[in-house]
Amino acid sequence: MPYPHLLAPVRLRGLELANRVLLPAMGTGFAAADGSVTDRLVAYHVARVRGGCALTVTEAASVRGQVPHHLDISSDARLPGLCRLAAAIHAAGGRVAVQLWDGAPDLTDEPGESPHDRTAAVGEGSPDDRTAAVVGAFAAAADRAVAAGFDALEVDCTRGSSLWASLSPATPQDGDVAGRAAHALAVIRVIRTVVPDDMPLLLRIDAHDDRPGGMSLDDVVAFCRMAGMAGVDVVDVAHGGAAQYLVPPIDVPRGFTVTDTATIRHATGLLTVASGRINAPDQAETILAVGLADLVAIGRGQLADPDFVAKAAANRPEDIVRCVACDQGCYDRYVDPAFGEITCLRNPVVGREAEGSPSQTLRPLRVLVAGGGVAGMEAALVLAERGHKPVLVEASDHLGGQLEVAGAAPRKDEMASAARSRARQVARAGVEIRVGTPVTPSVVDEIAPEVVIDATGARPIHPAIPGADRENVTDAIAVLTGRVRVRGAAVVVGGGLVGLEAAEFLAERGVPVTVVESLDDVGAGLGPLRRTCVLEALSDEGVEQLTGTTVVAVRAGSVVVEQHGLTREVPCDTVVLAVGARPDDHTPLARHCARRGIAYHVVGDALRARRALDAIAEANALARAL
């Protein structure tokens, strides 16, 4: 059997699981505004159960009060939906736990707020009365979970929960670990009295607290021992600490929480769940085989590929679509008020699982897909899956496009690996591939398609700055791909995503770098967590940043900049342009297709330069619709 440890059954108290893979609690935004279960949320979970996941943990379900579009278990009115969710997961062959969470505004993890020092949101009353109210809310929620048919419960004791606030010494309160633990232990004990004896109880807890005077790992271990004696069966370990560890971007190493998990496991004797960028079956297998954990939480790995476990069980790891921790869909879209729900760069149908697999076509079409980047490969794969006859044509000598270019930036080699893996998947799908072939009218005539999908991407902008045509001027793409080797000092013009990555790329190679950005801040195009990591790295590398500054001329050994109305020269040997990209003019190709009666569509950056998330989603939607 492939992956004998990952796919081995495990018993949690009275619950037998088919393998060691857990889908951790992740916010989706798919619940209704009042916190009730929706068909969309059910379909999302069922897809991962059908893909082989042994235990699904719901997103945090509030035990007190409602948070819009977040799961709620604070009222009996939510029971019908919760019953439906549990029943659907059981019908698909899975097991499900509900995560119980209390993050009411009077009990947060912010300094100065704890169960014992704030009353405004709950009215007057003693600390004991307020604690009793929280404990009672958890007890009532646990009772509802049992009635709804859940197989297990998980108590959330991480950053943002009232239990972590009561536990952490960073929240002003007296007492040692045992004293501070009283509130959380009371919750655990009351849940244990409410649920059946054979129902397992999981504890989700942070291993780190980065606030001054916060919980140490030793404190966490001590609390976990007490929690085990109070009735917890499994410790589900999160990293905690700085914000970038909440939904860790690609800058954070894979498996970064595993060492802490092993420490807790060995010190407490409890079963533990490892998490933190576990995105490949061989990685998970090693964690379990050497005894670092008993189960693994594969969250975004199962967003990117709901069939992660099934493909591992079939010994097809090369077919797994691996999460690259871009954070574009699972975090950036989730916290963006314009969206408020998750999606995935690598799997644009997250949240649309009810649509099912792409339908088989009744009329196979010969489709020329121009451009072998992420959008072109996505379109070709979906078209092939549906029974169409795509021909993928790429001007360069290989597939991959900007995803492979992105993989050249510091800490982003997984992007390049993903691009190469996707290219191999395209080939295995039987797509006809032609590389080294720019798409011209004669190529269109030779292939004779019924449809052309233009996914040729965009090209770097070369702005009309005096001197920008000098030999000492290049662009960020040329630098990242190694086509241009920079010596001496460099000025990077543009402090967006590509400019900052080029700056760090050069700084790592010993090149003194100054970034010039016309906006007041650098990092446009970077999500908040990736931006934090990149700015920290730039600071460590000593990269100078000139914001609110424009380049007015390029000279042989310098650039002339204007900042706050003052003009000065910045010495440099090379100027690297990173001021954005624009599509080529597609009018001639579009007109040729029109004359031939060929349907012509443009997707991704070929339409308008944006994130890879948008390009892939557009290509997927178009390929499904043809």
How many Cα atoms are found within 13 Å in the side-chain-facing hemisphere of 474? 18
Query: What pLDDT, on a 0 to 100 scale, did the predictor assign at position 241?
Result: 83
- What pLDDT score was predicted for residue 111? 34
In the predicted structure, residue 445 carries a pLDDT above the cut 70 = yes
Domain end residue (candidates: 291, 323, 354)? 354
Nearest by Cα to 100 from 68, 57, 39, 131: 57
Rounded Cα–Cα distance for residues 317 and 105 (Å): 44
Of the candidates 418, 298, 451, the residue with the CA atom closest to the CA atom of residue 346? 418
**Residue 159, CA distances (Å) to 162, 170, 214, 215 in order:** 8, 12, 11, 11
Q: Residue 468: inside a domain, yes or no?
A: no
In a 10 Å sphere around its CB, with 0-12 CB exposed, 13-18 middle and 19+ buried, how is residue 566 labelled?
Answer: exposed
393 and 514 fall within a common domain: no
Report the Cα–Cα distance between both ends of the chain, in Å, rounded: 40
201 is a domain residue: yes
Average pLDDT over residues 515-520: 97
In a shared domain, residues 328 and 241: yes
**What is the Rg, in whole angstroms, of the alpha carbon atoms belonging to the chain?**
27
One domain for residues 91 and 111: yes
Q: What is the mean pLDDT of residues 391-418?
A: 95
Count the domains in the chain. 3
587 and 532 together in one domain: no
CA dihedral 163, 164, 168, 170 (to 10 degrees): -120
Distance CA 183, CA 114 (A): 11
Residues 381 and 526 in one domain: no
pTM recorded for the entire structure? 0.93
Residues 340 and 211 in one domain: yes
Residue 596 domain-assigned? yes
Find where tokens 């809310």 sit. Answer: 137
Distance CA 476, CA 606 (A): 19
Q: Do 418 and 537 belong together in one domain?
A: no
CA 589 to chain centre: 37
CATH code at position 258: 3.20.20.70
Residue 314's identity, in one-letter code, is: A
Residues 20 and 53 in one domain: yes
Q: What range does the domain containing 497 cover? A: 473-579
pLDDT digits (tens, 9 = 90+) for 141-198: 999 999 999 999 999 999 889 999 899 887 766 668 888 899 999 999 999 999 999 9
pLDDT at 591: 96
One domain for residues 573 and 586: no
> Residue 489 sits in a domain of what CATH number?
3.50.50.60
Which residues partner with 568 through β-bridges?
561
SS (H, E, C) 90-118: HHCCCEEEEEEECCCCCCCCCCCCCCCCC
Outline where DSSP puts E strands in 388-430: 389-393
Of the candidate ranges 228-237, 400-409, 504-513, the one whose mean pLDDT is the lowest: 400-409
Q: State the average pLDDT over residues 255-277.
A: 97
